Amino acid sequence: MSLESRSARQWLISLPSLAWLAVFFVIPAILVIITAFRPADLQGGVGPGWTLATLREVQDPAYLPILWRTLWLSGATTVVCLALALPVAFQMARAGQRMRQVLLLLVVIPFLSNFLIRIFAWKSLLHPEGPLTKLLIGLHLIPENAVLLNHVGTVLLVLVYTQLPFAILPLYAAAEKFDFGLLDAARDLEAGPWRAFSTVFVPGVRRGIISAAVMVFVCCLGQYVIPQMVGGTSDEMLGSKIAQRVFSDRNLPHASALAGGLMLAVLVPMVVIVLWQQFGRKEAE
């Protein structure tokens, strides 16, 4: 088979998934951006003609603290997830074949129950009358009147909880290919265990780190259920605002402008990272 016909065949095989992506992702995304330039009508639909008024509306300075909170919560979630997932991926990759499969199963087990149910479980767990709050008060670890729920820290905690598997899986995939003999070499060359980990293992799985970081950060940006369920009234994220514009205000263009802006804010850096990675790979060869 010639090279050309082979690549043609590969294209043909990936056609269904490409079509799926085009129909259910690319086209809707473009529609969202187009909607941002249409006027809103009073029935919650989209009026005729074109307008730039929505773009001016979303520049409302009231969005700035929400945008900032969204960014730092997503950033903090990413950092915490990576910090937790790196040692887990390290241990999983070093474990024996059987142990590995058990650990992998444990990582994906949370997905077996519904996302909303798991968030709701946190809500009852952290409730003032809930078991965790009572236990911590009983142990005098927190004051009597402490409220664990409806706090920005709670949002961060639950975000980390939901995103952790998405950090562990790509890191594990990278760690599995890592040559652990390199750690022996590092130890041999006067590096202590921690320095061997940070100077040899971490750079060795950097592609996994990039994938995990992008995965976690992007998923966090769009979250609205978590801040709404476990956060307080002042812990809204941009996703909460988009949901509010769609469901309460019934202003589709406004929601579209926010969503489109967020989408571009994610997409542009990602394209940059992908290009940079591609460049880095070429350089390494």
Tell me whether residue 62 or residue 284 sits nearer to another protein (CB atom): 284
**Residue written as token pair 């994906």:** 108
Q: What are the residues whose beta carbons fall under 8 Å from the beta carbon of 52, sequence distance 6 or more?
A: 37
How near is the Cβ of 208 to another protein at its closest, in Å?
13
Provide, rounded to whole angstroms, the least separation between the CB of residue 203 and another protein.
4
By CB under 8 A, name the binding residues for another protein.
179, 181-182, 184-193, 195, 199-200, 203-204, 206, 284-285
Nearer to another protein, 131 or 193 (CB): 193
Least distance in angstroms from the C-beta of 207 to another protein: 11
Min separation Cβ 101 and another protein, Å: 22
Q: Toward another protein, which CB reaches closer, 197 or 224?
A: 197
**Smaller CB separation from another protein, 204 or 231:** 204
For another protein, the closer CB: 174 or 255: 174
Instruction: Find all residues with CB under 8 Å of 256, minimum gap 6, and list them.
Output: 32, 33, 35, 36, 54
Taking the complex as a whole, how short is the minimal distance between the CB of residue 166 and another protein, in angstroms?
A: 24
Shortest Cβ distance from residue 182 to another protein (Å)?
5
The alpha-helical segments, DSSP class H, found in the chain are 3-21, 27-35, 53-57, 63-94, 97-108, 115-126, 131-138, 152-176, 181-188, 193-196, 202-204, 206-221, 225-230, 238-247, 252-284
Give me 136's structure tokens.
Answer: 């911590």
Is the backbone of residue 208 left (phi > 0), alpha (psi -120 to 50) or beta? Answer: alpha
Nearer to another protein, 44 or 193 (CB): 193
- The three-point CA angle 104-107-109 to 5° equals 105
Closest by alpha carbon to 107, among 175, 180, 155, 161?
A: 161
CA distance 155 to 175: 29
| Alpha-carbon span 66 to 41, nearest angstrom | 26
Q: How far is the CB of 213 from another protein (least distance, A)?
A: 18
d(CA 163, CA 215): 9
Would you say 11 or 180 has its CB closer to another protein? Answer: 180
